[in-house]
Structures are given as C-alpha cells and as structure tokens.
Amino acid sequence: MSPEGRQAVPTPETMNTAPHFILYVRDQERARAFYEAALGVAPRLHTPGMTEFALPGGAVLGLMPEAGIRRLLPTLPDPSLGRGAPRAETYLRVASPSDGLARALEAGATELSPVRPRDWGDDVGYCLDPDGHVLAFAAPTPTPAVGPAVDLRPLDPEHDVARIAAWLEEPDARRWWGDPVTALTEIVDHDPGTVAVVVWEGRPVGVLCWQVPTREELEDAGLADLPRDLVDVDVLIGETDARGRGIAPEALRQLCARLREQGVRLVGMGAAEANAPALVAYARAGFVPYRDFEEDGEGYRYFTRELAEDA
C-alpha cells in the first residue's frame, strides 16, 4: 500500500493526556466505596455523576452511574440489561496481587480465580466488582530463585523423637507450638503418613504435620465455611540456624505438590498475627490470607492455598 493510502493511526503522541476508562455502575456510592477499599486510595474526584481514581502510570479509572450514560447516549441499549455478561476487564499491575485481591474481596468482591502464575508471565488473581465487572490484580511472575536443597522424609521414631523434643523447647517453638510435651505427643501420635521430617542439605532441621480438622475445630476458629476435606498443616523449623533460608516455604511447596497428587484441593495454615516469620513464609509458599480470627485472646490469620488447578 502506498503511504498516501494509509490511514492516520493515532499514536500516543497524538493523545494529549493519559487515558480514562469509565465503568458504568448501578450505585455510584457503593462502587466508590468498593474501589476506594480495593485500590487503597481515595478518589481524586467524587461528584454526583462521576468518580475518578488516579491509577499508577497516569491512567484514570472512572465510575459513572448507569442512569447518567442512559441520559448522555440515549440510543445505546440500557447498560443495566447487560449486567453479568463480561465484556471487558480492569487489569491492574500492582506490587502484590495477593494483597490487592485480598483487599478487593474484603471490600465485597466475588473471587473468580486466585492469584497464580499465568502462561503470559504474570501472577494474576481475578474477582468481580459489585457491578459484575472483572477486576484483575497482576504482577510479573518472579523468576524462581534456586531454592534450598530441601527433602521431606518419614519420621524415624528411634532417631527423630529426641531431636524434635529439643526443637520444641526453643523459645519461639514454645511460643507458637505451646507446651513441648503436649506438642511432642501430638507429633508422635500423628498417623505416620501425615508427618514429615524436613531435611536440609542432608540434615534434619524441622517437621511438618498435617490433618483434616474436625468440624468443631473449624467452628471454634470461625472457619466452618471451609470445605470438609481441607488439610491443615503445621510447620516447625527447629534448628534455629536453618531459619530465614526459605526452607519452610520450600518444604511447604513440596508438601502441597504431594497432597495435590493425593487429590487434596485446599490446604490451610494458621499463624498468629504476631508471628511475622510465619506470615512471610506462608505467603512465600503460595498461601493467601483467608480470614483473621481470635483464639485465647490472640489474633490469628488463616491462610489457604488451592491445589486443584495449580500448574
């Protein structure tokens, strides 16, 4: 085609400001409250008929009442008739997709798909805003670092019981696992198929155990809505020089892969809000916050990780 025949294609240079994307919403106030909580920022404009949020990079997300667009463009079909049919999505690149999705769910969104690596190179979680618009939180999938050399092996009562007993005496272990004698009994009495010793570079450094909680236990923690076949995991990196090296996250990833092969769909873990290392380690292992709850006056956060559709 000759140069004269080409259409003038607008380039970014021909646009004089960053783009505005406008969602048509049923209730402007409800949509404002949702996006303010989900994005974690106040609107830059909030006036009857239009709410605007400044997005990183300069774009603007607008919220306009459906009634307003009907008045403005009366020849269009009534937008309220299109509710529920996905025709577009807001795809936000954020620092932490898990935090973004958690904030949106907390603000009343409906989860569509949890944060997980997608084949275009992003970790993305999807939800529906209160008007039924698809909202995605994304970040580039981190390149996997070479993880620590971790293996899981069955518990060997003859050699492991004494070392686990010693690990449970350490102050942090005591704080989060409770009385060492009771904790040891629980580990040793566990079905042998549901305990594993965490081995790092050939040396036993910790223990994992997992179980299907009873209805009563879930109810006590206010988690009765979790599925009956949820598998709850406890972790201890007992050798203190092995902490802070990514060993628990790697051990948990390996356990999740094993449980997925056994058909488990959902794995959960609880950590006290004051247990910062555990909160970090669980997130590193791909767990996302599910709900906060209180037990014996201590604030806890329950994390879950879906396994069924993992890559």
255 binds ligand COA (CB under 6 A): no
Query: Candidates 63-71, 112-120, 216-224, 231-239 — which segment interacts with ligand COA by CB under 6 A?
Result: 231-239
Q: How far apart are CA 51 and CA 35, in angstroms?
A: 10
Among 184, 275, 306, 307, binds ligand COA (CB under 6 A): 275
Q: How far is the CB of 122 from ligand COA (least distance, A)?
A: 22
Pairing of strands 203-211, 195-200: antiparallel
Q: How far is the CB of 249 from ligand COA (least distance, A)?
A: 5
Q: How far is the CB of 258 from ligand COA (least distance, A)?
A: 18
Q: How far apart are CA 310 and CA 301, in angstroms?
A: 23
What does the block give as tokens for 189?
A: 């009495």
Among 155, 237, 259, 288, binds ligand COA (CB under 6 A): 237
Question: Residues touching ligand COA: how many (CB under 6 A)?
Answer: 24
Q: Which residue is nearest to ligand COA (CB)?
A: 244
**Closer residue to ligand COA (CB): 175 or 228:** 175
Pairing of strands 266-272, 298-306: antiparallel
Q: How far is the CB of 276 from ligand COA (least distance, A)?
A: 6
**Closer residue to ligand COA (CB): 49 or 147:** 147
Contact set for ligand COA, span 154-173 (CB under 6 A): 172-173
Q: How far apart are CA 75 and CA 204, in angstroms?
A: 71
Among 196, 221, 231, 248, binds ligand COA (CB under 6 A): 248
Q: What is the dihedral of CA 265, 270, 275, 278, to 10 degrees?
A: -20
234 binds ligand COA (CB under 6 A): yes
Encoded one letter per residue, x for contact with ligand COA by CB under 6 A and - for no contact, window 138-157 reads --------------------
What does the block give as tokens for 17?
A: 């400001």
The residue count for the chain: 311
Among 96, 277, 291, 293, binds ligand COA (CB under 6 A): 277
The angle subtended at Cα 139 by Cα 133 and Cα 235, nearest 5°, is 105
Q: What is the dihedral of CA 181, 186, 188, 191, to 10 degrees?
A: 180
117 binds ligand COA (CB under 6 A): no
- Percent helix, strand, coil in the chain, to 5, is 35, 30, 35
- 173 close to 243: Cβ distance less than 8 angstroms: no
278 binds ligand COA (CB under 6 A): yes
Among 46, 163, 284, 291, binds ligand COA (CB under 6 A): 284
What does the block give as tokens for 237?
A: 């990196």
**Closer residue to ligand COA (CB): 86 or 178:** 178
Query: Candidates 42-50, 130-138, 220-228, 273-281 — which segment interacts with ligand COA by CB under 6 A?
Result: 273-281
- 64 close to 49: Cβ distance less than 8 angstroms: yes
User: In DSSP terms, which residues pair with 234 in a beta bridge?
Assistant: 209
66 binds ligand COA (CB under 6 A): no
Q: How far apart are CA 73 and CA 65, in angstroms?
A: 13
Question: Where do contacts with ligand COA occur on this chain (CB under 6 A)?
Answer: 172-173, 176-177, 234-237, 240, 243-249, 271, 275-278, 280-281, 284
